A and B are shown apart, each in its own frame.
Chain A
């Protein structure tokens, strides 16, 4: 019997590197997973890899109607949602003075508003069941800030405040709500950096290396599992020591 046997999980942004790692880890721990994301072929490939206990639910989180249809679709596919992982996120970096309203709106809409709507939709089932885990993938920059990422940092800080509030609201119903805040993680985004850029990043990380998706996923599995039953309203930082908060 695995830690998450019999549990069902919806993971957004599963066509990205981190979402993939999270989906793999939840699945390896025994959960049935619904993969949501924008790139259907990537989701299908991941589903083929997992073979069983997996559902593919493509969704563009920048569209309100699509967001609202996602939770009912996942509940129908899996018979309910025990674990919601709001992992989907986009960046539209720009210096504050040059940032367009659209760049702000897109990032807030996908990273924060969609997480709000999906969480709200999941609550009905979780409250009724008197159990549930909501996990948001925030970011170290939501706590430290980062030049060029006013919109992204706001969305990630917003997620932390939103989830602390929700955690307080639903704790009495045995639903826990937490964030995982990754630091610099290996991804297609970091793969394209040149050596000088990489060195500059690593100079800020006491551990001297980038993190892996699996290391972030392990934190998600912990928060989703029975061992974290008494952990709520927290932000678990997975950043190699680059910010000790």
Chain B
């Protein structure tokens, strides 16, 4: 698992209080992990802080699964 993936999953586990084995790449924050819409905003805020990046609103809207977040942040932090 990449470093980015590990950090993303750690944030998701902590923020949503879910079991680590549920936090897989295709897990949908709302449908699979029980997040509400405010949780998804807060997760984006937490990612921004952890990776010192800014995630614009239109990009944030495309981040609906754990894998989406990892992919976006790998791309952003590599640039």
Contact = CB atoms under 8 A, between A and B. Distances in A.
A172 B38 contact: yes
Interface in A102-124: 124
A128 interface: yes
A90 to B, nearest CB: 31
A173 B38 contact: yes
A170 interface: yes
A127 B38 CA distance: 10
B45 interface: yes
Q: On chain B, which size bracket covers the interface?
A: under 10
A186 interface: no
Contacts of A128: 42, 45
Interface in A146-184: 169-170, 172-173
A127 B43 CA distance: 11
Contacts of B38: 127, 169-170, 172-173
Nearest to A127: B42
Interface of B: 36, 38, 42, 45
Interface of A: 124, 127-128, 169-170, 172-173
Given A124-B45, A128-B42, A172-B36, 8 more contacts: A127-B38, A127-B42, A127-B45, A128-B45, A169-B38, A170-B38, A172-B38, A173-B38
11 contacts: A124-B45, A127-B38, A127-B42, A127-B45, A128-B42, A128-B45, A169-B38, A170-B38, A172-B36, A172-B38, A173-B38
